[in-house]
Structure 1
Amino acid sequence: MQRAIRFLVLILILVLGGLWSTAWFTRQPNEALGDAFLRNLAQLTGRPAPSPINGTQLPAGVSMGGAFTLVNQDGRTVTEADFGDTLMVAYFGYTFCPDICPTELGSIAAAMDLLTPEQEARVTPALFSIDPERDTPEQLKLYVENFHPRMVGLTGSTQQVAEMARRFRVFYGRVERPEMSAYLMDHTSYIYLVEKGGAVRTLLRPQSSPEAIAEAIRRQLSQS
C-alpha cells in the first residue's frame, strides 16, 4: 500500500513539474509564470482558463466576496445592495498608509479617467478600510475626495471589518515598532473587481498600471 502511495506521489510530482516546465517555455509576453501554469492546468482539466489580462479572473466554482454591512464616508450604513448594478473597483487599505495605498488609489482614479462617461457611470471605485480605529467616516471623506469624485470610503466596527476581510480573503494586521510614533497596517494589496451582490470576479496585481486597470474594467463591463 505504501509503495502504491509513493508511486502516485511520484507521478503527481512529475506531472506538476512538467506543467511548470511547459509554463516556463509557453508563457506569453508579460505573462506571469503562475498565470501560465494555471492556463496550462486549465487546458489539461478542461476548465475555463483564467483571464490573462493583468490579473486573474476567478474560475467557475471559486467564490470570494459576498454580502457586507459597513458605513460610508457620509456616516450612512450601506450594504452591497446599495451599489446596485455598478462594478466596484475595490481596494483594501487605510488612510494613514504612507505609500502603497495612495499609489494604488491614484492608479484606480487615473484608470477611471480613461473610461468613457458611459463606462464611468457603471463603475464605483471604493476604499475598504482595514483600520477602523482611525478611519472614521469623516477621515475617509477627506481622504477619498483627493482621488476621484465617484470614489467611496467604507469603514465599520472592528467586527464588521473583520467579517468583510474574511469574506474577501483579505489579510491585515497591526504593526508597531519602538521607533514609530504611530502604528502601521500590514495588508494585502490587490485590486478587486466586484460585481452585483459583492462577488469578486477579477483580481488585479499590485502596481497594475492605470491602462491595465481600465482595460480589465472594460472587459468586465462587456461581460455583464
Structure 2
Amino acid sequence: MNEKLKRTLALITAVVLAGCSVPGTPGQETATPPLAGARIGGPFALTDQNGKLVRDSDFAGKYRIIYFGYSYCPDVCPVDVQNIALAMRALDQRDPALSARVVPIFITVDPARDTPAALKQFAGAFSPRLIALTGTQAQIDAVKKRFAIYSEAKPKRPDGGYIVDHSRLAYLFGPKGEPLALLPQDKSPDEIVNAIKRWAK
C-alpha cells in the first residue's frame, strides 16, 4: 500500500477511534458520531451525470452518503456502490421517512474517463437515486483534499487502460454538511442501514 494512503487511513482511523468510547467506561459507546468535529468535507461545485452543475448547498437539510471511486474500477467500486444501493432500498422499506432524507453521492477520482455520459451509465446500473459527480482534474483534486481522499493513477497499459489506486471510504454527512461517521460499505446492506439509522436522527 502506498505510504500516502497509509497515512490518510491512519489519520481517519485515529479520528474514528477517538470518539468510540466514554472515558472511564471501556467498551461503552457514546452518542457522539465518531467523525464529529473532524475537518473533513467542504464546499464543491461539480457536474452530475446529466451534465447539471451540482453544489454541496443543493443537499442542505439532507444526510449525504459520499463515496469516492471511478466507473472503470475492476473490483471494489462496483461492489461498494451496489451495497450502498441495496442499503438504500432496505432503508426505503424499514424507514421511508429517513430514507427520503438521505442522498447517496458518488464522486469520481478519474475525471479524465468519467464524463457525465459514462457516469450516467454507471449510476443507472445501481440506483436511480445515485448522484454521480465529475469535474475538471483541478476540481476533483480540490474535493479530494477537502474530503481526505487519496488517489493515484497507475501507469497506463499498452492498450491505454489504467487503474486508479484510491481510498475506499463511504462517509455519512449530516444535514449541515458535517461529518458524522464512516459507513461499512464493504459489509452487508443491513449493516450499512444500521449505521445510517444510528447516526442519522
Q: TM-score range by the shorter chain?
A: 0.7 to 0.9
In the alignment, which of 65, 79, 85 is matched to residue 89 of structure 1? 65
Q: How much has 1:68 moved relative to structure 2?
A: 1.0
Q: How much has 1:120 moved relative to structure 2?
A: 1.8
2:96 is the counterpart of 1:117: yes
CA–CA separation in structure 1 for the residues paired with 2:188 and 2:142:
30
RMSD: 2.8
CA–CA separation in structure 2 for the residues paired with 1:88 and 1:218:
13
CA–CA separation in structure 1 for the residues paired with 2:77 and 2:83:
10
Cα deviation code 1:186-222 (max 9, x no counterpart): 0011111022343321112451221111111112221
Q: Unaligned regions of 5+ residues in structure 1, if any?
A: 1-31
In the alignment, which of 32, 43, 66 is matched to residue 23 of structure 2? 43
CA–CA separation in structure 1 for the residues paired with 2:96 and 2:184:
25
Q: Kindly indicate whether the alpha-carbon contact (under 8 Å) linking 1:80 and 1:197 is maintained by their aligned counterparts in 2.
A: no
Match of 1:202 in 2: 181
Q: How much has 1:181 moved relative to structure 2?
A: 4.7
- The structure-2 alpha-carbon separation of the partners of 1:205 and 1:118, relative to structure 1 and needing over 3 Å to count, comes to closer
CA–CA separation in structure 1 for the residues paired with 2:162 and 2:130:
25
CA–CA separation in structure 2 for the residues paired with 1:149 and 1:133:
24
CA–CA separation in structure 2 for the residues paired with 1:37 and 1:121:
31
Secondary structure at the counterpart of residue 200 of structure 2:
helix
- The structure-2 alpha-carbon separation of the partners of 1:50 and 1:90, relative to structure 1 and needing over 3 Å to count, comes to farther
Q: Identify, as 1 or 2, the structure richer in helix.
A: 1
Match of 1:103 in 2: 79
Letter aligned with residue 23 of structure 2: Q
Q: How much has 1:166 moved relative to structure 2?
A: 0.2
Q: Kindly indicate whether the alpha-carbon contact (under 8 Å) linking 1:73 and 1:141 is maintained by their aligned counterparts in 2.
A: yes
Give the count of matched residue pairs: 183
Q: How much has 1:77 moved relative to structure 2?
A: 1.1
TM-score by length of 2: 0.80
CA–CA separation in structure 2 for the residues paired with 1:37 and 1:83:
28
In the alignment, which of 76, 98, 111 is matched to residue 132 of structure 1? 111
Q: Kindly indicate whether the alpha-carbon contact (under 8 Å) linking 2:70 and 2:114 is maintained by their aligned counterparts in 1.
A: yes
Q: Which has the higher contact order (CA 8 A, sep 6+)?
A: 2
CA–CA separation in structure 1 for the residues paired with 2:35 and 2:149:
15
Query: Whose Rg is larger?
Result: 1
- The structure-2 alpha-carbon separation of the partners of 1:39 and 1:57, relative to structure 1 and needing over 3 Å to count, comes to closer
TM-score by length of 1: 0.73
In the alignment, which of 133, 136, 148 is matched to residue 157 of structure 1? 136
Match of 2:43 in 1: 67
